[in-house]
Structure 1
Amino acid sequence: MSELLFPRQKRLETLFYLMIVFALLGPSFGVPVADFRLTFFRVAFVLLAAGFVLRLVGQKQLAASHMMPVRWYVTFFAFWFLYGVVSLAWVMNYGYAVRYLSYLVFMMPLSLAFPYFIDTEQKFWKTSRILFWVFASIVFFGVFESITLLHLPTSAVFGKASASVTTVFRNQNDFASCITIALPFLISALYMLNLKRKHKWFIYITGILALYDLMATGSRSNTSFALPLASLVLVVGLTFVMERKRITKKNLATALIAIIAAVITVNVLSQLFLSPEAREQAKTKLSSTFGFIMDVQHSDWSLDDGSDDVVKGETGESATVRKYLILNGLRFLQESHYMGVGAGNVEAWMDKYGVKVNKVNIHNWWAEILVNFGVIVFVLYMALYVWMLWRLWKLASLKHSPSLSPVMRWGAYSCLASLTGFFFGAMAPSTCIGFTPMWVIYGLSLAVIVVGENQKAAKTQ
C-alpha cells in the first residue's frame, strides 16, 4: 500500500511546484471563459486541493506534525477567514466581500502549502531554485518589454505604446514590489552560498537586470524605501550570519567593486534601452521622493475643511491621494466601532463616502487589513509578522543557531531582509490581497521556520 501512496505524494508535490510557478506568473497564463479568466494557477490549485483531500480520506491522517512550529499561523489564518465570513453580517457590498473572501480561499492555502510540502532542506532548496528561475524569466521579459514596449494582455497598458514596465503584473508598482521581495535572496546568495562561479555570475547578471527593471518602473516606495531597508538588514546582519574569517578586506573590496559595477551597468543599460519618455518618467518620479514626502506632510490633515476635491501637491496628486485614502480609511474604521467595514468593503465605503480621493483601493496593505477586518485581526497579523521576523533572525544568527546548515541560514537571512523591506513595499500596490509574491514569501518564511527549527531540534537531541 505504501508503494502505491508514494507516487501519489510525488504527484502532489509536482502539483505544488506547478502551483507556485503559475502563482507568480499570474493571470498571464490562463484561458478566457466568458467574462472569467481561468488561470493555470487556479487549475493547479484545484487539482492539488482535490488530490490532498483524496489522500486525506485514503490515509485518514493529515501528516502535518512537522508543521507544529507554525501552528499559530495556521490558527490565525482560520480565524481571519472566519472573521471575514462573520463580517458578511455588516458589509455594505456583498459582491465585494465574496470576491475578497474568494481571494483568501486561494491565497491562504497557497502560503500554508509551503510549510506543508517543504519539510526538508532538500525540498526547500528545490523550491528556491524553481522560484529563482521563474523570477529570472520575469526579469528578462521586463528588459524585453522596456525595449520593445510590447505588453502582455493582462497589463493595464496592453495595446498602448507606454513606457511602463509591468511584465506579468497589471501595473509597474506590483512588478517593483516583486523585485524588492526577491532581490535579497539573489544578493545574499552571492556571498553566503557555496555556488559554482558560473552560477554566481548568472545570479549577479539577473540581479543587475532586476535593478534595471526596478529603475524602469519608477516606483518610489520600492526604490527609495523598501530596497534600501532590505539592504540595510543584509548589511547590518552580515557579521551575525557569517563567520568573521570570511569577512576579509579582500572579500569586502570584491563586494564594493561588484556594487559599483552594478550601479554603472544599470545606468548604462538605462541610457541604451529605455526610451527618452521612460527615462524622464523614472527620473521625475524617483527624484521627487523628497517632494512626495513633503506633499504628505504639508497637505491638510483634516477631511472636513469644506472641500471634497482632490488636492494637488508639488509632485502631483499621488502623495495627497494616498494620504487621504488612509485618513478616509481610519474614519471608516472608527465608524465601524473598530470592527472593520467587512471583507473587501473598504472600496465600497471609499466609493460612497471618500473625500479628496479619486481612487477606491486604499493602496496600503497594512491599512487594508486594518480597515477591512478591524483592530483585532490587524493586531494579531502584525504580532505574528513581527514574531516571524524575530524567529527568522534567531535562525539566521550564528550565535543562536550555530548548528543550522548554510542553506537554511541563507533562507532565514534572506526572508528576514525581504519581509522587512516589504514594510514599505506593501505601500506600493493598490491592493495585496491577490498579490501572489507577498503570499509566496510569507509561505516560504513559514517553511524556513519549520525546517530550520526542526533541524535545530534534531541536532540538539
Structure 2
Amino acid sequence: MLTYLIILVSSVFLGSNLIAVTSPVGQISIYRIFSLLVIPIVLLFILKDRKAFKIRINSYATGMVTVYIFWWIWAFCSVLWALSLGSWLQAMVLLTLGVSSVLGIFLWTNHYLQWRTLMKAVWVMLTFLSIWGLFEIVTNIYILADLEKLDKYSTFVTQPWTRIPITYLANQNDYATMLLASLPVNLTLMNTTKSNLKKLITLACILLSTFLVFQSGSRMSLLMVVLFFVIYALLHVRWDFPRKKIGLIFGIGIIVLLGMVTFVAPIRAMITDLIYILPRPVISGDVGRMNMWRNGLSYVGKTFGLGVGAGNIEVWMETFGTLPTNNIFNIHNWWLEILVGYGVLVFVAYVVGYGLMIYRLFDLRKYVNKPQRHTMNAFIAFLLIFIGASITSANNMLIEWHWVFFGLIVAYIKIMEAKVDEEKKRVE
C-alpha cells in the first residue's frame, strides 16, 4: 500500500485545479479519487482478515483518529437540523475526504522507513510549489492566477517587489499557510540525513519558503514563521528554573503585554476592534471579521451547543446575522468553524486531541535518539503555530493538504509510540 499512499500524499498538493476533471458534483482530482477509495479498501481488507490492522487501544495516535471519526459521525447526524441540505452535503464530502486520508495514512503507515518515504514525497511537492512561486515573482508569469484580482494596483510590471506568489491556490494567504508545512518537512529531512549536500538543499528550501511567505504579504503567516523558529530553538534548550523565577518571568511577560496594549497604537486598535460591539459608520475588514466571530458564537448558544450543522455557517450568517460583516459570510476562523458548525462536543474533542498530540510528542522526546527528537521538536512547533496560522485562510475545510499532513503527524506518533514501548519491554 506504500505506492497507494505516495500517490495520495503527493496528489493532494496538486489541489483540485491541476489534473482534475469537472463534474456536476464538483472537481474530481486524483487525490479525491484515492481518498474516497480508502474506506472500501479498508473494509475489503477487514472482510478478508479481521486482524488486518493492528490498532493500539492505549495510543494517543489512535485517540486522535477516534476524534476525527467522532467528528464525521456528528457531522453526518447534523443533517437533522441543518438549514441547507446542499451546503451540508458539500461539507460532508470534504470532511469525508479529509477523515479518509487521515485513516488511510494511520492504518497503512506502520514503519519509520514507510513514513520517511511519504515525507520525501511531501518534500518533492512542496519544493515544486516553492520553485513555482519563485518563478512567478522573478518572471511575472502567472499561469493560473487572476492578475486583475491579484495585481489590484497594476504594479507587478514596474515594481517587481510587489509581486505575490500564489501558484494554483485561491489566494496568497492559502499559499503562505501551506509553505509553513515545508518548515518541519525540511528540518526532518535535514536532521535525518548524513549527506552535507542534502542538508544544504533542505536549508536552501527553508530560506526560500521563508522568503516566499514574506513576499506573500501574509502578516500572520510571517509572524508564525518567526514563532516557529523561536519555539523550535527553545525546545532544544534544557530549562531548569525554580518556581520563583518562572513566576517572575510570567509576571514580567504580563506587564510587557499590558504595556504594549496601552502604548502601542496598532495593538490597542486591534484589541478595540475585538471588544467594541456598538454600531460604527464604517466597517473595516477586521471589524467585519470580528462581527462574524461574534455572530457565530451567538449561534452556538441558539443551537444549545449542537452547532448549526455541517457547512451551514454561511447560511446562518447570511440569514440570521445580527452584526454587519460587509456581506462576507465565511467565518474565517478554523477553530470557530468547528465550534459553530459542529458544536461544543466536537470542538472540545478536537481541542483535547490536538493538545494531547502536542503533549505526546513532547513526552516521547525523552525516549528517542537525537534526530527523532529534532523531528518531534519541529512537529511541536508546527502544531503550535498552526493554531494561529489556520485563522489566515477563509476555509480550512477546503485546504485538503492539511488533512494529509496531520495524518502524517498522527502516523509518526503511532510509530514512535510502538518503538518506545518495544524498547521499554526490552529493558524490563
TM-score normalized with structure 1 length: 0.78
Deviations 1:23-79 (A, max 9, x none): 122113233334432111112224444444333333343323357522222322222
Residues 348-377 of structure 1: CA deviation (Å, up to 9, x unaligned): 111223332131111110111011111111
Cα offset, 1:150, TM superposition: 3.3
Secondary structure of the structure 1 residue equivalent to 2:16:
helix
Flag the 1:440–1:204 CA change in 2: closer, same or farther, 3 A: same
Of 418, 422, 425, the residue aligned with 1:454 is: 418
Is 2:63 the counterpart of 1:72? yes
C-alpha displacement of 1:386: 0.6
How many pairs are equivalent? 387
Equivalent-residue separation in structure 2 for 1:306 and 1:206 (angstroms) = 47
Assess, with a 3 A threshold, how the Cα gap between structure 1 residues 335 and 149 changes in structure 2: closer, same or farther: farther
Structure 1 distance, partners of 2:282, 2:141, is: 33
Counting only pairs closer than 5 Å after superposition, residues 372-387 of structure 1 correspond to structure 2 as: 372-387=341-356
Which residue number corresponds to residue 357 of structure 1? Answer: 325
Indicate the residue corresponding to 1:196 in structure 2. 195
Amino acid at match of 1:45: S
Q: Is the 8 A contact 2:188 2:375 kept in 1?
A: no
1:25 paired residue number: 14
User: What's the RMSD between the two structures over aligned residues?
Assistant: 2.4
Judge conservation of contact 2:65–2:102 (CA < 8 Å) in 1: no
Matching residue of 1:440? 404
1:373-408 C-alpha deviation (Å, 9 max, x unpaired): 111111111011111100011122xxx21xx24443
- Given that 1:310 and 1:357 are in contact with CA atoms closer than 8 Å, whether structure 2 keeps it comes out as no
Shift of 1:131: 1.1
Residue number in structure 2 paired with 1:176: 176
Q: C-alpha distance in 2, partners of 1:379/1:77?
A: 12
CA 1:25/1:89 → structure 2, altered by over 3 Å: closer, same or farther? Answer: same
Superposed displacement of residue 100, structure 1: 0.6
Q: CA deviation at 1:455?
A: 0.4
How big is each residue's C-alpha offset from its partner over 1:218-276, in whole Å with a ceiling of 9 and x where there is no partner?
Answer: 1111112x2222222201111359xxxxxxxxxxxxxxxxxxxxxxxxxxxxxxxxxxx
1:283-326 alpha-carbon deviations (Å, 9 max, x no partner): xxxxxxx87644432237455x456x7513xxxx2x22221111
Task: Name structure 2 gaps, 5 residues minimum.
Answer: 153-162, 240-263
Residue 451 of structure 1 and its aligned partner are, at CA, apart by 0.7
Counterpart of 1:106?
97
Matched, 1:297 2:288: no
Q: Tell me which of 73, 78, 95 is aligned to 1:82.
A: 73
**Cα distance in 2, alignment partners of residues 177 and 370 from structure 1:** 21
Give the SS at the match of 2:235: helix
One-letter amino acid of the counterpart of residue 330, structure 1: L
| 2:225 maps to amino acid | L
Aligned pair in 2 of structure 1 residues 105, 310: CA closer, same or farther (>3 Å)? farther
Query: Post-superposition shift, 1:188?
Result: 6.1
CA contact (8 A) 2:38 2:101 kept: no
The answer on 1:311 being equivalent to 2:283 is yes
Alignment of 1:195-274 (within 5 A): 195-224=194-223, 226-240=224-238
Tell me if structure 1 keeps the 8 A contact 2:62–2:414.
no
- Measure the CA separation in 1 of the matches of 2:350 and 2:147: 34
Q: 5 Å matches for 1:97-176?
A: 97-153=88-144, 155=145, 157=147, 163-176=163-176
Q: Structure 1 residues 229-238 or 109-118, which shifts more?
A: 109-118
Alpha carbons 1:324, 1:356 under 8 Å: kept: yes
Contact in 1 for aligned 2:81/2:308 (Cα 8 Å) = yes
Q: CA deviation at 1:176?
A: 0.8
Instruction: Letter of the 1:59 partner, please give it.
Output: D
Structure 2 SS opposite 1:238: coil
Q: 1:458 to 1:156 in 2, by over 3 A?
A: farther
C-alpha spacing 1:395/1:88, structure 2 compared with 1 (3 Å): same
**Structure 1's 406 and 451: CA in aligned 2 closer, same or farther, altered over 3 A?**
farther
| CA gap 1:410/1:75 in 2 versus in 1, 3 angstroms | same
Matches within 5 A, 1:280-295: 293-295=267-269
Alpha-carbon distance in 2 for matches of 1:111, 1:44? 12
1:328 aligns with: 295
Residues in 2 aligned to 1:158 and 1:193: alpha-carbon distance in whole angstroms: 44
Q: Which residue of 2 aligns with 1:249?
A: none
> Which ranges of 4 or more aligned residues in structure 1 deviate by more than 6 Å?
none
Q: Which residue of 2 aligns with 1:57?
A: 47
Secondary structure of the 1:32 match is strand
Rounded Cα–Cα distance in structure 1 between residues aligned with 2:230 and 2:267 = 21
Moved more, 38-47 or 90-99: 38-47
Q: What one-letter code is carried by the residue in structure 1 that aligns with 2:194?
A: L
Provide the secondary structure at the position in 2 that maps to 1:165: coil
In structure 2, relative to structure 1, the CA distance for the partners of 1:340 and 1:126 (3 Å cut) is same
Structure 2 length-normalised TM: 0.83
Give the CA deviation at 1:134: 1.1
